[in-house]
Amino acid sequence: MKRTVLTNLQLLDGVAHGILADQVLVIENDEVAWVGPRGAWDQKTDPRDEVVDLQGMYVLPGLWDMHMHLDFRVHGQVGPSIAEDTMFSYRRALTLLHSGVTSLSLPGSANGIDFALRDGIERGDYIGPRILTAGEGITSTGGHGSIDGKGCDGPYEFRRAARQVVSRGADLVKIMVTGGIMGRHEASDAPQTMPDEVQAVVEVAHNWGKHVSGHIASSEAAIMCAELGVDTIEHGYFLDENAIQVMKKCGSAYIPTLGVTSSPDYWKEIGAPDWAVEKVKRAAITHKRAVEMAMEVGLTIALGSDLPTAHVNGTIGIVNEMEALAQLGASPETIIHWATQVPAQICGLGHKVGTLEQGKQADLIAVPKNPYESVSNLRNVSFVMARGTIVRDDITSTRRPSLLAGHFEG
């Protein structure tokens, strides 16, 4: 079996603290078959190996985005057809992969596009990032994300909706519990889902072995959901110290999507309505403080972007998220941990991805400068491998980017 041997690299494997110098990674099929110092590998070379000299680059596990909607956009709101939305979604997925995001969690997508992309990529029919999807999010009548006000009422309807989405093959279940930024006729922290409705969804999802993702803005909703077993509290624009403590006690992880509120001008620039921009501004201060408190108490954090464009402030959404967290004092090594190993563990894939060890799938990226010095160094990804396949190589002179999807999303 032909192997790909990556040499002359500095390794941030997610296991050892610090950087392992002058390492070799051997990829066979889609897995890391061997990893170690170059001196220990020299006697194991085979003339059939494809050797790629990474010229001293810093190599780390591929990044996750734990809260992304591939079809989310502001201009035009929705595409003119399912077919157009499908093409748009796939282009965004490729744009993210090209920038180093090798795994995506999609907490709410419409029309089955997410399932089709996930399954096609899994079969190897298409190049793309690993996708885990919730299908359509479950919401109350008139609730956040509802279409024409249609939704569920009461535990029986919420239970039925949860059963329907897991029976379609959803990897997780998404429930809308409060209002949000992009809902015009709702307060961002307005309660919309009752305890018995949340409990019904949690019971179904956990019985099927799926984790529950909660769209939650307020402290009251976060406390309720944490106590009922919701696995990830997402957004949390208005969380207080008590809510943070309850989440930690109950084992709920936090996906803050801090980038949603860290740059209010971004929303105006991309054409968001004035009422949405004002909601972003209102949430910005409390959101920042919620994340600071979560960091102070050691709450489990994973990173998601939840933006309607692939890029913001000159980089992809997840790196923008990392930079926002760095401004609050989180160390680069910790932030990278939140964007690699923690998401893999939350999604039940810690045995497959999230670190670079023998037997793990070969999802990895390379950058010229040390990302443990600054997460901003992840703006300049030069090499991407997804499941053992090189999908971007800006380093060697003999290889060109292999993704042929027209123009990536700007």
pLDDT digits (tens, 9 = 90+) for 250-278: 999 999 999 999 988 899 998 888 999 99
Domain residue spans of the chain: 3-62+356-393, 63-346
Q: Is residue 404's pLDDT more than 60? A: no
Q: Is residue 30's pLDDT more than 60? A: yes
The 10 Å Cβ neighbour count of residue 158 is 26
Burial class (CB in 10 A: 0-12, 13-18, 19+), 395: middle
Question: Among residues 174, 226, 177, 227, which one has the least CA distance to residue 204?
Answer: 174
Q: Is residue 390's pLDDT more than 90? A: yes
3-62+356-393: in CATH 3.40.462.10: no
Burial class (CB in 10 A: 0-12, 13-18, 19+), 184: exposed
Q: What average pLDDT is seen over the chain?
A: 92
Q: Residue 108: what pLDDT?
A: 84
CA pair distance 268, 278, nearest whole angstrom: 10
Reduce the secondary structure of 158-211 to three states and give it as a string. HHHHHHHHHHCCCCEEEEECECCCCCCCCCCCCECCCHHHHHHHHHHHHHCCCE
Helix (H, G, I), strand (E, B) or coil at 110: coil
Predicted confidence band at 410 (pLDDT cuts at 50, 70, 90)?
low
Q: Residue 110: what pLDDT?
A: 82
Q: Dihedral angle at the C-alpha atoms of 168, 171, 175, 176, nearest 10 degrees?
A: -100
Residue 14 carries which side chain, given as an amino acid letter? G
Question: Among residues 10, 45, 13, which one has the least CA distance to residue 26?
Answer: 45
Q: Name the least confident of 15-29, 38-52, 93-107, 312-326.
A: 38-52
CA pair distance 219, 236, nearest whole angstrom: 7
Unique residue bearing structure tokens 């359509």: 136
- Fold topology of 63-346: TIM Barrel (3.20.20)
Q: Residue 146: what pLDDT?
A: 66
